A and B are shown apart, each in its own frame.
Chain A
Amino acid sequence: MIRQAERAMFDGGDTRPREPVVITGIGAVTPLGNSFDAIATNLLAGVSGVRRIEVPFFGPEHVQFAAPVDSIPSPEGFESARLSECSRFEQICGAAVAAAVADGRLAGIDPRRIGIVAGIGAEQLKAWETDYAAGGTRVLGPGIDSPIVHRIATLVGIDGPAATVGAACASSGYAIAMARRWLQLGWVDACIAGGCDVITPSAIAAFHNLRALSRRSDDPARASRPFDRDRDGFVMGEGGAFVVLERADDAAARGAMSRAEVAGVGMSSDACHMVTPSTDSLHASRAMEAAMSDAAIDPDEVDYVNAHAAGTSVGDAAESAAIRMALGGRADRVPVSSTKSMSGHLVSGAAAFEAVACLAAMDRSAVPPTVNLDNPDEACRLDHVALVARRHPVRVALSNSFGFGGANLCLALRAA
């Protein structure tokens, strides 16, 4: 009997009808701006947020560039003194969540029926590092700190279920997937979902020592070059993006503006290696196919793919193959770009930020470019939107996010 049940799930998946879930608010603090309009404008103008930075304790031979957040807005209603007591991580995350809550105008909803799911992959490590740099000893134990998501929930007055999700570079996409599910189950009436990350010396060192980062120190703004034959790794970015999700009928009933529907989610694992993506693109393509199936769309309806493409040699080629596998012949005609070429890699916050980039494409009827894509790699043959934005109506977009540990996620977003 157990085997029959398992087989049924493998063959058919979850085919029960689900209520549409829509995005009714956006908040972001990023290297490309702190509002939807600023981000959309910068993305479509091909602006790079990458620049030289100072990394404490590092010599000049190491990576000294990234895409940092330049200014953290003080959210309306927050006591600035209270915010200044928070860590940089908490400030960025809190400002992004507060902006999403304000944009979604959630004031009329019972706070106990509002949830929050944050994609944050290594919060404790960064909190310990920040504390140690300031002379603290929290890393030496044995204390336990409440995660940021719970502190932020208190700050913005959310009293429903809260969770942190970690799926490496796909974390905030998994957060959106879980929030959508909570809404479909009726556990909450609104849910804030997204993710955030910050740049720290240990994080840069760890990725540098993995040989995952670009070493193009002489020309930081041109270092992030996904799909290009001269790519040599990703560029770290920081920032956070959060969206407000609601069931479509609830949003309509309260007159909330629906920006797009989270129409489908696909998730899978490579189960191959703790760091390197599988060169067999089967499982990444399965995530894309599952997202399209969940959204009840076929490849012909896809207008844009926001690729995960971080600028790594193996990853970009594997993703290109996955896109071709999932979209078939349509892959030659669907515009593809990697906005990491401009924003850097927001790591835990990347998936949510790139979902926002898809909304920008829908809103402006234009696809943001992959800047620095001077010479597309033969191993990455796709319909690239290289160097400059392309006018193109976008009704359905797929957004890929692939993380360490083989975590694959694809969001299918449909214009409202």
Chain B
Amino acid sequence: MHAVRERLADNACSILTHAAVEVRLSEVAALRDAPGPATAPALPKRFLRYCDEQTVVGMAAVLRAIDRLPAPRPSFERWGVLSASCQPGRIMGAAAVIGTRKSGSQGVSPHLVPQCSLHSQASAVSVALSMHGPNFGIGGGPEAFDEGLLAACSMVSQPHWLILTAWDSEPSLDADGSPITDPVCRGLAVALLPGEVEDAEATIAVEPYRGDDDVASCGDFPSMAARIWSLAKSLSGDAAEARATLPLRHGFTLDLQRSDARSPLALEAA
């Protein structure tokens, strides 16, 4: 029963395109109004107005990734969206928590649940870009990087986006809930196709725990923001090796093979 099965082919995904974005909290407001390049798909007007900051950054990454694709771009109508974020919704959440105490139910924004929950980022991308595949959020904590990659490589029955976002350090707020620090939010969007596909930028696959006793279950890993940037560099060619194995929690690993035919990619400070 405990025999580990050879199923790697089942979870290999090809990366069609990707892009990474990093912005300071103070810069998110500008990104709400203009999240993508002029040549990227347009969003419904003021769509990001009430979105969580991490949603804005994730959306910006998706739009940049789409913008990198040569014309004619594929239809994303049947694509799914998975978003893995670490502690989404802190700023609006703080306003709600403080507002409830001060003003009862009147102190809570109706946007709290739809915009600041774990699913919100994936749903925003799905709604804004008319993607009808499954949409859901993953993680919510510092392990979201691992959880997102496991989810992305396991839910491979159709093309989907994986979006990873996190603050380099969580925003600090004053007693009224206003930010008093200006941390950096990093986001990476990766468009994944099932299996190995010619002309893809790279392929990834998760290698499960294989019964080694020496497993780093939840040992020390860099911060999620650092791991997002490291993965982005591995994909973009900033890393020297075209092949990389990234450790994940619970003894899992992510194998990444960059294609030689890959085009220059975007690692962008918006």
B198 touches A1 (CB 8 A): yes
Q: Chain A residues near B195 (CB, 8 Å)?
A: 5
**Which chain A residues numbered 197 to 233 have a C-beta less than 8 Å away from chain B?**
201-210
**A161-B200 contact in complex given A166-B118, A209-B108, A209-B109, C-beta closer than 8 Å:** no
CB within 8 Å of A: which B151-210 residues: 151, 154-159, 169-175, 177, 181, 183, 193-195, 197-200, 206, 208-209
Q: Is B134 an interface residue (CB 8 A)?
A: yes
Extra contacts besides A2-B193, A132-B98, A273-B127 (14): CB < 8 Å: A1-B197, A58-B104, A113-B2, A123-B118, A124-B89, A132-B101, A186-B5, A186-B6, A187-B150, A209-B108, A209-B110, A404-B113, A405-B119, A406-B123
B1 x A125 contact (CB < 8 A): no
**B residues less than 8 Å from A186 (CB atoms):** 4-7, 208
Residues in B with CB closer than 8 Å to A404 are 113-114, 117, 119, 123
**Is A267 in contact with chain B by the CB < 8 A criterion?**
yes
Residues B208 and A185 in contact, CB atoms below 8 Å apart = yes
A2-B200, A185-B10 known; A268-B110 Cβ under 8 A: no
A174 touches B136 (CB 8 A): yes
CB distance from B51 to the nearest CB of A (A): 9
CB distance from A273 to the nearest CB of B (A): 6
Residue of A129, A187, A210 touching B110 (CB-CB under 8 A): A210
Q: Categorize the interface residue count of chain A.
A: 35 or more
Are B135 and A405 in contact (CB-based, < 8 A)? yes
Q: Which residue of B lies closest to A282 (CB)?
A: B132
Size bracket of the B interface:
35 or more
Residues on B with beta carbons closer than 8 Å to the beta carbon of A405: 114, 119-120, 122-124, 126-127, 135
For B96, what are the chain A residues with a Cβ–Cβ distance below 8 Å?
Answer: 125, 129, 202, 205-206
**Residue numbers in A under 8 Å from B107 (CB-CB):** 205
| 10 interchain residue pairs of minimum CB distance | A405-B123, A166-B118, A186-B5, A14-B157, A267-B134, A205-B105, A205-B108, A142-B170, A166-B137, A1-B198
Q: Are B100 and A178 in contact (CB under 8 A)?
A: no
Which B positions have Cβ atoms within 8 angstroms of A? 1-2, 4-7, 10-11, 14, 16, 74, 78, 80-81, 86-90, 93-94, 96-98, 100-101, 104-110, 112-120, 122-124, 126-127, 129-143, 146-147, 150-151, 154-159, 169-175, 177, 181, 183, 193-195, 197-200, 206, 208-209, 211, 215, 217-218, 249-252
- In the complex formed, the residue of A with least CB distance to B130 is A271
Interface string of A351-389 (1 = CB under 8 A from B): 000000000000000000000000000000000000000
Q: Is A203 touching B158 in the complex (CB atoms < 8 A)?
A: no
Say whether, besides A164-B147, A209-B110, A57 and B127 are in contact (CB < 8 Å). no
Query: A132 CB to closest chain B CB, in angstroms?
Result: 5
* Chain B residue with the shortest CB-CB distance to A182: B154
- Cβ-based interface call for A330 (8 A): no
Q: Cβ of B138: which chain A residues have Cβ within 8 Å of it? A: 163-166
| Cβ-defined contact, A9 with B158, below 8 A | yes
What residues on A are CB-neighbors of B80 within 8 Å? Answer: 267, 269
A196→B97 CA distance, assembly (Å) = 21
**Shortest CB distance B205–A (Å):** 11
Q: List A contacts of B86 (CB < 8 A).
A: 144
Residue of A whose beta carbon sits closest to that of B5: A186
Evaluate whether A141 and B171 lie within 8 angstroms (CB atoms) in the complex, with A113-B2, A202-B100 already known: yes
Do A189 and B2 touch across chains, with their CB atoms under 8 A apart? yes
The answer to whether B120 and A147 have CB atoms under 8 Å apart is no
Q: Are B108 and A163 in contact (CB under 8 A)?
A: no
Q: Provide the bound-state CA to CA distance between A3 and B150, in Å.
A: 25
Which chain A residues border B135 with CB–CB below 8 Å? 167, 269, 271, 405-407
Q: For chain A residues 5-21, which have a beta carbon within 8 Å of chain B? A: 5-6, 9-10, 13-14, 16
Give 28 A-B contacts (CB < 8 Å), ordered by A residue. Answer: A5-B193, A5-B194, A9-B158, A14-B157, A58-B105, A112-B215, A122-B89, A124-B87, A124-B90, A128-B94, A141-B170, A161-B150, A163-B139, A166-B137, A181-B155, A186-B5, A187-B252, A206-B109, A206-B112, A208-B105, A209-B105, A210-B113, A267-B134, A271-B131, A274-B123, A404-B113, A405-B127, A409-B134
A233 to B209, CA, bound (A): 46
Structural contact, B193 and A6, CB atoms closer than 8 A: yes
CA–CA, A168 and B83, complex, Å: 13
Which residue of chain A has the shortest Cβ distance to B249 in the bound complex? A161
B123 touches A202 (CB 8 A): no
Contact A1 B119 (CB under 8 A): no
A220-B149 Cα distance, complex, nearest whole Å: 44
Nearest CB of B to A259, in Å? 19
Report the separation of the CA atoms of residues A271 and B169 in the bound assembly, to the nearest whole angstrom.
32
Instruction: State the Cβ distance, A34 to closest chain B Cβ, in Å.
Output: 26
A121: chain B residues at CB < 8 Å are 117-119, 137
